[in-house]
A and B are shown apart, each in its own frame.
Chain A
Amino acid sequence: MMSDPVVTTRDLTKRFGAAVAVDSVNLSLERGQIYGLIGKNGAGKTSLMRLITGLSIPTSGTVELFGNADPSAQQEDRKRLGCLIESPGLNGAMTAQENMRLHRVIRGIPSTTVEAELLDLVGLADVGRKKVKNFSLGMKQRLGIAIALLPSPELLILDEPVNGLDPVGVVEVRTLLKRLSADHDITILISSHNLPELYQTATDYILIDQGAIRRTVTLDQLEAECRQYLRIACAEPEKLLRVLETELGIRDVTVMPDRSVRLYDHLDDPEAVMRTLCAHEVFPTTFTTEGDTLEGYFLAVIGGDSRA
């Protein structure tokens, strides 16, 4: 059952002089979902995140947080947000624990144990007295994520959180985010250039370009769009289906309106399919591997392909 949206934007627009950073964005983020925000550099991802968090003031349009549209009353609602935007909010002269303490104090969180718990969660429990200015980029990202989690947020906004992380770190962050979403019903808005990584993390995708939302798709829709298949067309489609089913045991097929057939099995051995069809006197007029790759799909949409 769908609950009330955590964030709703209506015609949200941000201009910097003549430049439009965010262009009439209408968006609804549902509780417990992980949204991947995808776009090129300068597409408006960070600007949109800033508007949602209140770090930037809209030129026009509104942001509704947890069902509250009154900007003056949203201060309380923002306490339910955690964010890591552009780069982690870290003081290089402090240790990881001191940075945690600083943000815990800012957030007015009385529990001191949460500092160690979150450092442990992001794999920084053993960094000791090392100053943050001496941390690697990956360590800073982890600490930034820990800080974003301090207020036990209901909405977590992460701008390029896996930037600088090693492969192990990327997997750990992905696992962590999925667990947070599943166990605590946290809504996560995450931007990344790492498309394969987003593909494995997000449940929904928001494609943004030139400040405007080009498309929103669920993971299922995306998988359907990106699924590879053999497209076979012939003069006798009924016979084609019969041969595929009886001779090759194939059932995962889709008959398209033009009576061509999409075959989702045997992609690794199209020659065997062709041989079997010909042996049973089914002669394809079309026999091609089709379907999009993840990157191809995003490029097509963002690049202004006719499908978008």
Chain B
Amino acid sequence: MHNLIRADLFTLRHSTGVRVSLLVAVVAAVGYVYLAHQIATGALEPSAADSASVLSDVMVVYLLGSLLAGIVVATDFDTKTIHDALLSSSRAALVATKTVVLVAVVASLVAPYGLVALVGFLSGQEFTAFLPTVFLSIVANEQGLPADAGSVGTIVVVVAATMLVYAARLSICLPLAFAVKRPVAVMAVGFGGNFLVDFVATLVVDVPVLGDLVGLTPFGPTHSLTLASDAGDLLAAAGASIVFLALMAGASYLIFRRADIK
């Protein structure tokens, strides 16, 4: 499995889709925080927030994350590299590899937002949290945290947990990718599916039993972390995410276990 992970990372380094996606994530993250600053200083009208929402982490990570999930899984099938992978490792190891690499890829999409938010937080500049997202809550420093090592540590932990939550949410693309093996199809269904599940999760949050069940998944509203989240929230979000990732990996294995490889 270690070899497969190394090979996947080597492949992704040569993927134009991955390079462009990471570049877009960096540009979007910078633009997102810059607009939050411009709105806060009055250089832009608050109504600009509507347009700025396309640069939000939710939008960018869902869109590009779904695409990259497809690329991570489908590239090996396209290039037939999967043949050698299955001669050297088991199908279970291959699914586990793809799960780990998906987490790494999603983390790399979230990282620019985390980094830019941290820089914004430490800059002492004025920012507006024009959307209720974790990164804007960090730059806007809604909790009024001091700019010290302790706060930086808190931010790093919250960002890391957010990476895990995003990876778990996007892991619904894994079984899909093993089934259809087409990155664009995975992107379309994954992007739409994540928003749909988010929407449904919001609707049923107050419904008995259903709300509790949603809370056990990374789509639970309490798993959208902020700097106000306590250790219990963080652990619950991480736990739900890890269990959900394992479930999606299991579903992928069931699909792939006896699949014929072209």
Hey, which bits of chain A sit against chain B, CB under 8 A? 50, 53-57, 75, 78-79, 81-83, 85-94, 98, 101-103, 105-108, 147, 151
Contacts and interface: CB of A to CB of B under 8 A. Distances in A.
Contact of A93 (B3, B15, B87): B15
Contact of A53 (B81, B83, B262): B83
B87 A98 contact: no
Interface in B64-103: 75, 79-90
A101 B75 CA distance: 17
A90 B6 CA distance: 17
Contacts of A57: 258, 260
A91 B79 contact: yes
Contacts of B14: 91, 93-94, 98
A54 B86 contact: yes
B147 interface: no
B10 A101 contact: yes
Contact of A79 (B80, B88, B261): B88
Given A105-B7, A106-B85, A93 B16 contact: yes
A108 B88 contact: yes
23 contacts: A50-B260, A53-B86, A54-B87, A55-B83, A56-B261, A78-B88, A81-B87, A85-B80, A85-B83, A88-B80, A89-B81, A89-B84, A90-B79, A90-B80, A91-B11, A91-B79, A93-B14, A98-B10, A98-B14, A101-B10, A105-B7, A105-B10, A106-B7
Contacts, number: 81
B30 interface: no
Nearest to B6: A105
A106 B81 contact: yes
Contacts of B10: 98, 101-102, 105
A56 to B, nearest CB: 5
A147 B86 CA distance: 14
B49 to A, nearest CB: 39
A99 to B, nearest CB: 9
Contacts of B261: 50, 55-56
A90 B15 CA distance: 13
Contacts of B88: 78-79, 106-108, 151
Nearest to B5: A105
A134 to B, nearest CB: 15
Contact of A107 (B84, B90, B258): B84
Which one of A82, A92, A105, A107 has the highest number of Cβ atoms from chain B below 10 Å of its Cβ?
A105
B83 A108 contact: no
Nearest to A144: B80
B4 interface: yes
B contact face: mostly helix, strand, loop, or mixed: helix
A55 B75 CA distance: 17
A106 B16 contact: no
A83 B87 contact: yes
Nearest to A53: B87
Nearest to A77: B87
Q: Lowest 9 CB-CB distances: which A-B pairs, in order?
A: A89-B80, A55-B261, A108-B3, A106-B7, A105-B7, A56-B260, A78-B87, A57-B258, A91-B79
Nearest to B85: A106
B55 to A, nearest CB: 28
Given A50-B261, A78-B88, A105 B83 contact: no
Which one of B6, B84, B260 has the highest number of Cβ atoms from chain A below 10 Å of its Cβ?
B84
Interface in B10-25: 10-11, 14-16
A91 B260 contact: no
A254 B200 CA distance: 86
B7 A102 contact: yes
B4 A106 contact: yes
Given A75-B89, A89-B79, A91-B79, A106 B84 contact: yes
A92 B233 CA distance: 45
A92 B4 CA distance: 19
A147 B81 CA distance: 10
A50 B87 CA distance: 11
A100 to B, nearest CB: 11
Interface string B153-176: 000000000000000000000000
A230 B13 CA distance: 66
A103 B84 contact: yes
A270 B262 CA distance: 53
B79 A107 contact: no
A92 B89 CA distance: 23
A55 B260 CA distance: 6
Contact of B3 (A50, A83, A87, A107): A107
A88 B82 CA distance: 11
A92 B78 CA distance: 10
A165 B88 CA distance: 28
Given A50-B260, A55-B260, A101-B10, A87 B80 contact: yes
Given A54-B87, A89-B84, A90-B79, 4 more contacts: A78-B87, A89-B80, A102-B11, A106-B81
Contacts of B6: 105
